């Protein structure tokens, strides 16, 4: 059994999404030597909270709080989605379930493209928004919390393109690019994405918290 003193620093990300876990690992790896990023499949099962808050920040916080209480580890959770100008900011917090249950990226993308079929190019502006919450143990049983946000602006394409990323990446063209997010390399996407901005903003606090454990 390894000596706890020599154990790798651990942080929990409340997701089963392998690509989200990969993003966090890529961004934190250069900052924290030997860091281990755990996801929901790496910890004992617990009752995951319902994401019924009206804001990205609210949903991220409820997931991060549940994570730290269930695992005892510093816990991160994000809520993100696409906000389309022509739809008055929707799907927004409903992005993952825009086409109903069960959740389906394929149906969500098809529905969004159908809703924008008659919208001209100059009115297809959109942005991805991300709220990232960090909850971590402090003192004698206390929990501290921090929330940061990030955005990536661009437009909705007229057809799907690319095989990378996930969610709406296949139809979102970021500002300054002529390809979709799904056609960027992971490193290119990390540099400009809403989640990349949020992760880099929270990373110094994560580093400080892990150093103090």
The dihedral built from the CA positions of residue 159, 162, 167 and 173, taken in this order, carries a sign that is: negative
**Residue 47 assigned as binding residue:** no
**Residue 63 assigned as binding residue:** no
**Residue 123 assigned as binding residue:** no
**Residue 46 assigned as binding residue:** no
**Residue 200 assigned as binding residue:** no
Catalytic residue flag (residue 105): no
- Angle among Cα 119, 180, 167 to the nearest 5 degrees reads 85
**Residue 80 assigned as binding residue:** yes
**Residue 17 assigned as binding residue:** yes
**Residue 124 assigned as binding residue:** no
**Residue 8 assigned as binding residue:** no
**Residue 26 assigned as binding residue:** no
Are β-strands 36-38 and 125-138 bridged in parallel, bridged antiparallel, or unpaired?
unpaired
Q: Among the options 6, 52, 79, 178, which is catalytic?
A: 79
**Residue 149 assigned as binding residue:** no
| HEC sequence for the chain | CCCHHHCCCEEEECCCCHHHHHHHHHHHCCCCCCCEEECHHHCCCCCCCCCCCCCHHHHHHHHHHHHHHHHCCCEEEEEEEEEEHHHCCCEHHHHHHCCCCCCCHHHHHHHHHHHCCCCCHHHCEEEEEEEEEEEEEECCCEEEEEEEEEEEEEEECCCCCCCCCCHHHHHEEECCCCCCHHHCCHHHHHHHCHHHHHHHHHHHHHHHHHHCC
**Residue 103 assigned as binding residue:** no
Binding residues, as ranges, are: 15-20, 79-80, 166-169, 189, 194-195
Binding residues for substrate, as ranges, are: 15-20, 80, 166-169, 189, 194-195
Binding residues for Mg(2+), as ranges, are: 79
Active site (catalytic) residues: 79
């Amino acid at each position: 059994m390894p000596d706890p003193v020599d154990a790798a620093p651990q942080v929990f990300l409340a997701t089963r999404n392998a690509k989200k876990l990969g993003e966090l690992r890529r961004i934190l790896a250069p900052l924290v030597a030997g860091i281990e990023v755990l996801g929901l499949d790496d910890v004992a099962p617990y009752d995951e909270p319902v994401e019924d808050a009206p804001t990205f920040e609210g949903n991220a916080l409820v997931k991060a709080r549940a994570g730290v209480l269930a695992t005892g580890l510093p816990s991160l959770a994000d809520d993100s989605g696409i906000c389309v100008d022509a739809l008055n900011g929707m799907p927004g917090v409903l992005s993952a379930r825009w086409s109903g249950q069960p959740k389906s990226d394929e149906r969500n993308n098809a529905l969004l493209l159908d809703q924008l079929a008659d919208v001209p190019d100059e009115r297809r502006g959109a942005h991805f928004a991300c709220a990232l919450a960090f909850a971590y143990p402090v003192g004698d049983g206390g929990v501290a919390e921090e929330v940061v946000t990030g955005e990536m602006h661009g437009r909705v394409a007229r057809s799907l393109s690319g095989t990378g990323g996930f969610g709406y990446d296949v139809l979102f063209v970021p500002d300054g690019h002529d390809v979709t997010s799904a056609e960027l390399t992971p490193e290119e996407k990390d540099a400009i994405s809403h989640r990349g901005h949020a992760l880099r903003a929270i990373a110094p606090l994560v580093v400080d918290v892990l150093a103090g454990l």
